[in-house]
Amino acid sequence: MTNPQTPHTITSLRNRPAWAALNEHFSELRKMHLRRLFAGDPQRAERFTLETLGLYFDYSKNRITADTLRLLVELAEQSGLREHIDAMFEGDKINVTEKRAVLHVALRAPKEEQIFADGADVVPEVHAVLDKMSAFAEQVRSGAWKGHTGKRIRNVINIGIGGSDLGPVMAYEALKYYSQRDLNFRFISNVDGTDFVEATRDLNAEETLFVVCSKTFTTLETMTNAHSAREWLLKALGDENAVARHFVAVSTNTAKVEAFGIDSANMFGFWDWVGGRYSVDSAIGLSTMIAIGPEQFHAMLSGFHAMDEHFRTAPFERNLPVLMGLLVVWYNAFFDAQTVAVLPYEQYLKRFPAYLQQLTMESNGKHVTLQGEPVDYQTGPVYWGEPGTNGQHSFYQLIHQGTKIIPCDFIAFAQPLNPVGNHHDLLVANVLAQAEALAFGRTAEEVTAAGTPEWLVPHRTFEGNRPSTTIVAARLTPEMLGKLVALYEHSVFTQGTIWQIDSFDQWGVELGKVLAEKIIPEFAAGDELPLNHDSSTNALIRQYRKLRRAK
């Protein structure tokens, strides 16, 4: 049965005229080398570079022509992208399987804007929470917020997982340069006790504040860690009243927060129209705000908003997130590219690829359309990456000479935050060199001409024609981080719209959680309790019981 929530107005992907045209176009273009494309058009770099919002977005080293772009834009139009963007900004329930609006764009809307969900303007509530966060962040930063014994807070520990961890840790790391250095920030996410122990072992409970982040306040990992944190604190301070000074919560679930023992006065709310992986700019970013201060947090929000406005209003052929999303669709569908590598040449962005993994893969890892019909095309690719130049000495070999096509997003900044000698020139020279080498390679003739013995020539030849996009900005600032995150958010939206999938649900994470709940009591039960999993899982449970006892 198809989903009664969704209109059936969009033709299935393979039947959209632009899809058929792209298919035909691909058969002509697939053998075309970037060397030829560049040689044939001296204006190519200019033609396929977009400069806006302080970003220089060079997509000329992609395997496209003006025709490709025209057809991809037509595909976006025929996929209802314009209408879908408007529907998101108007608060329509575009998360159809959860019957929810998708309004992370409201989290960064300026005070004077109006954005409606269920007939109510949500912007005043957003700003009320931001004001409450700002007041609290200032108290912690200034030392006015005291722990139970009267000492000031020195350590802030974010407890959360998924969007309630990856956003905060990514943004904290990305903006560490701007952070208050007499505060120490840590992040606990994994239910593996090691994460908890290593994060707390050298800390004084009197000076430690836990920010428990969970949209639902029911997530197993987060609740387990939050209870361990409570025990750890009470063991050190010996008084239940201490919880009020050392725990705050960020959640949509007031009842559960109160049941945990956190006063709702110390709770920062958000709303069901904010998906976990789209929540870094909600109260989930509280630890980031404590680190960098309200002013810089607001600067980050203004960066997000600038990209939102660009996405909402720019024509598709000059729209950064649309172009980025269309390129993903192009390689995924026609070149059979399974992955996208995100390669920031900026050490502070070291957690950016991990953050993007949840954003992209939880959003677009779907196998049925909005109507519940199985897709007969590829959906979301695997996103992965590491900061440059480290990756060059590990996995770049495969990108250069392997048998797989891996489109790369290179990200670089012209001004170093920490200038040291000539490090930055070396860093940036490397990113440009990598993109150049991937695109143009080194022919057998060139290798031979350099005096390489004949038998070694095939090994030293670089085929080239490996696509990449290079994004350059002046400097990594909070505002620029907001722009970059929103760029990827809306690229994911563009892809999901073309594939006609629900980019905002995550049913695929449920089954494992349910099965784990069943297995937990089975560990405690004796061997006489019959197990009714498959034979492999049954044997693993018995083996675990045995090895655990052996200790």
Instruction: Please identify which of the residues 206, 221, 346, 362 carries the catalytic annotation.
Output: 362
Length of the chain measured in residues? 551
Query: Among 157-165, 230-238, 324-332, 453-461, which window interacts with ligand F6P (CB under 6 A)?
Result: 157-165
Peptide bond into 218 cis (omega under 30): no
Q: Which residue is nearest to ligand F6P (CB)?
A: 276
Name which of 164 and 208 has its Cβ closer to ligand F6P: 164
Per-residue binding string, ligand F6P, 488-507, x by CB under 6 A, is ------------------x-
The verdict on 215 binding ligand F6P (CB under 6 A) reads yes
The verdict on 163 binding ligand F6P (CB under 6 A) reads yes
Query: Among 61-69, 215-223, 365-373, 473-481, which window interacts with ligand F6P (CB under 6 A)?
Result: 215-223
Residue 156: its H or E element: strand 155-159
- 393 is known as an active-site residue: yes
* Residue spans of beta strands (DSSP E) within 375-478: 382-384, 408-413, 468-473
In sequence order, the 6+-apart residues with CB closer than 8 A to the CB of 496 are 363, 364, 366, 502, 503
In sequence order, the 6+-apart residues with CB closer than 8 A to the CB of 149 are 206, 237
Per-residue binding string, ligand F6P, 265-304, x by CB under 6 A, is -----------xx---------------------------
Shortest Å distance, C-beta 166 to ligand F6P: 8
Q: For 147, what's the count of Cα atoms within 13 Å in the CB-facing half-sphere?
A: 20
Shortest Å distance, C-beta 269 to ligand F6P: 13
Among 5, 216, 430, 443, binds ligand F6P (CB under 6 A): 216
Query: Among 98-106, 159-167, 240-248, 261-269, which window interacts with ligand F6P (CB under 6 A)?
Result: 159-167
Shortest Å distance, C-beta 133 to ligand F6P: 17
Nearest CA among 225, 216, 167 for reference residue 193: 225
In sequence order, the 6+-apart residues with CB closer than 8 A to the CB of 80 are 9, 10, 497
Among 155, 179, 189, 214, binds ligand F6P (CB under 6 A): 214
Among 179, 222, 468, 503, binds ligand F6P (CB under 6 A): 222
Among 164, 208, 319, 363, binds ligand F6P (CB under 6 A): 164
Contact 320, 50 (CB under 8 A): yes
Name which of 220 and 529 has its Cβ closer to ligand F6P: 220
Give the three-state DSSP class for 88.
Answer: helix
Give the number of residues in contact with ligand F6P, rule: CB under 6 A: 14
Contact 286, 160 (CB under 8 A): no
Contact 378, 366 (CB under 8 A): no
Angle at 38 between CA 36 and CA 39, to 5 degrees: 60
Contact 153, 183 (CB under 8 A): yes
Name which of 174 and 250 has its Cβ closer to ligand F6P: 250
Contact 340, 407 (CB under 8 A): yes
- Site for ligand F6P, residues 353 to 372, rule: CB under 6 A: 362
- Site for ligand F6P, residues 396 to 455, rule: CB under 6 A: none
Structure tokens at 413: 């900044």
In sequence order, the 6+-apart residues with CB closer than 8 A to the CB of 65 are 29, 32, 37
Among 55, 161, 306, 340, binds ligand F6P (CB under 6 A): 161
Binding site for ligand F6P (CB under 6 A): 161-164, 214-216, 219, 222, 276-277, 362, 506, 509
Catalytic residue set: 362, 393, 513
